[in-house]
Amino acid sequence: MTYTTMGRSGLKVSQACLGTMNFGSAGVASCDEAEGVRIVDAFLGADGNFIDTAGNYSDGQSEEIVGRAIRGRREVVVIATKAFFPQGPGPNDRGLSRVHLARALEASLRRLGTDYIDLYQCHAWDAATPIEETMATLDGFVRSGKVRYIGCSNFTASQIVEAQWAAERAGGTPFISLQPQYSLIRRGIEAEILPACERHGLGALVWSPLGGGVLAGRYAAGVRPGDDSRLGRLLVLPAPSARAWVEDLLNARTLAVAAEVGKVAAELGTTSAAVALAWVRERPGVTSVIIGPRTVAQLEGNLAGFGLDLPPEAVVRLDEVSRSDDLMPVTGMLPLR
């Protein structure tokens, strides 16, 4: 496993980051605790050291499973978690205010069974809270020793700049990471967001590198996603945004990209997932890539992408087929992520 430095910091993380959104019975694609522990064991056994979770994943079950899975080996794991989404019914039970972040941090520490978080991230931008309050609160967490580094997720380029400026004005702790969506079918961050990260010292910890499974060759044109697939499970949710997100993923362009990924994989004697992950891994500005396996077998298949070097001509083909005439910043979010 290759290790890289996260942003403008000294934090060393594996290029593969184990995403645990699926851990727990309430996940979009649930993975029970026994399998979750096996996945963590296999990931650490492959020399991965970076695990990402969030307080809202499976109503806190994800953090609890991660905490139990790493018990006795906390010092070899870099734990990243996030706060923003509701953790209760009250008006102060969500967002990036001082009161909610303080509550959310204590809850995450308790569920994870640890006294510090390596990378504490704002899960989304909070327009209702001054960014100065958020950055001052996070700086206090770092000074207290409960948090080592801070980052953000799903911020736009301008929001990144605002946050870093707020930290600088106060003489506080800046962000070292951004967690954006990025894949061969979602390249919008190349326009403004990745350049902003480079300028302001943030490494990119990218999510959904397989485009919800589209780039792994799991879906075909005109065929409804199976009920046991991630997109199939999203289709039955009552939220209209979930259906819209699925329909947007399964269009002529994305399926054409997936088909070319499949051709490259066949030529190289590997899998579509490995090719798609290898492409993302080597993109400029990408520090680490989040994979979200539900089984050990899926983990092992994904890890193959971190040992695969794509031939230059294959990279050119994938760049061309996935290039969009409208490379604009990505501001939307995956449902329930």
Residues serving a catalytic function are 57
Residue 302 and residue 16 in contact, taking contact as beta carbons nearer than 8 Å: yes
Residue 150 CB neighbour total at 10 angstroms: 25
- Distance in Å from the first CA to the final CA of the chain: 26
Which tokens hold the place of 95? Answer: 């967002």
Bridge partners of 37?
none
CA-to-CA distance for 85 and 275, rounded, in angstroms? 33
55: alpha, beta or left? (left if phi > 0; alpha if psi -120 to 50): alpha
4's enclosing H/E stretch is: strand 3-5
Closest listed residue to residue 207, CA positions, set 182, 232, 238: 182
Give the DSSP per-residue string, 3-64. EEE-SSS--EEESEEEE-TTBBTTSTT-B-HHHHHHHHHHHHHTT--EEE--TTGGGGHHHH
Classify residue 240 by burial, with Cβ atoms within 10 Å: 0-12, 13-18, 19+: exposed
d(CA 138, CA 148): 10
Are the CB atoms for 65 and 37 separated by under 8 Å? yes
